[in-house]
Structure 1
Amino acid sequence: MSREMYKKERQIPDETVKKMLENYGSEGTLAVNGDDGYPYCVPMNFVYVNDAIYMHSAKYGYKIDALQADQKACFSVIVRSEVVPELFTTRYESIVATGDIEFIEDDSERQLVMEAFIDRFSPDFREGGMKFIKGAMGKTAVLKLNIKEMKGKAFRSDKW
């Protein structure tokens, strides 16, 4: 799956990509192999913990069925973008990661990930978030993208 980026000058260094995933962007698009050979993409919130991208989901549905049939997946994030009409282009920072999805069953890892979601998206509501996690944990699938390849790309021009 590894290919060199066509416009190599736009590639973001790996450590910067990791920091971007840890600190910026709140959602990405998970792409899986769907029915009849068609790709299926769905927007999802994520956290980046211990060099993996984690998502949470209901335990049932099309996405889950697709992942149980084939764990290969791609996750893309547009960290930021801005159309520049006068230049007929877009400034952007984006990340694409490919790998295999793992369904996390270990209770301590599931708890760690769900707490990371609370800390990232609802830090001012941690106490309520912990109660929410306790009630939702049995109904929640925790998905881990074990990253095989990840690249960031940016076109920043003169303003970024």
Structure 2
Amino acid sequence: MKTLVHTEKEQIEFIISKCDVCYVGLADTDGTPYVLPMNFGYRDGVVYLHSAQEGRSISILERNPKVCITFSTDHALVFQHPEVACSYRMRSKSVICWGKVAYEENFDRKVEALDIIMKQYSDKTFKYSDPAVVNVKIWKVEMDEVTCKEFGAPHKK
């Protein structure tokens, strides 16, 4: 089994599209890590997230807007020999990206971001109440750096 590195945009976007949650890593200015599982949307190199207007993550992001986002899918336990513990590993595909959070404040663009998020989970068209849009915090993360790997890929014979 080996690890493959993928650089093709199509492969990266395919892996992201298969995920139902991403993990957002933040670091406070004292170095304390904080990782959140979050719903998300993705389009054109931008990850869209949403949250309440305040809370621990918002406080951290005010001090340090840098984030690391991880997407992981296709998990399966594999091994080379069933009696050799060190030959076991988790097969998976992952995308990790880094960027800075910017908040979207424009009402219409917030609605567009919510539509992008909902498109990850449903083909339905949604309507949002004005208070829901006003009160949601929309995070936009442009993917400044991206890695994509496939773990536990079989060796070609």
What's the TM-score once normalised by structure 2's chain length?
Answer: 0.83
Residues 50-71 of structure 1, C-alpha deviation per residue, up to 9 Å, x if partnerless?
2111111111100011111111
Is 1:25 aligned to residue 14 of structure 2? no
Q: Which residue of 2 aligns with 1:3?
A: none
Q: Which runs of 5+ in 2 are unaligned?
A: none
What's the TM-score once normalised by structure 1's chain length?
Answer: 0.82
1:76-95 matches, cutoff 5 A: 76-85=70-79, 86=82, 87-95=87-95
1:1-160 matches, cutoff 5 A: 10-15=4-9, 16-21=11-16, 23-34=17-28, 36-85=30-79, 86=82, 87-124=87-124, 126=125, 129-131=126-128, 134-158=130-154
Asked if structure 2 preserves the Cα contact closer than 8 Å seen for 1:49 and 1:113, the reply is no
Query: RMSD over aligned Cα, in angstroms?
Result: 2.1
Q: How many residues align?
A: 147
By how many angstroms is 1:119 displaced? 2.5
Q: Which runs of 5+ in 1 are unaligned?
A: 1-6
Query: In percent, how many aligned pairs have the same letter?
Result: 21
Alignment-mate amino acid for residue 25 of structure 1: C
The runs of 4+ residues in structure 1 deviating greater than 4 Å are: none
Higher share in helix: 1
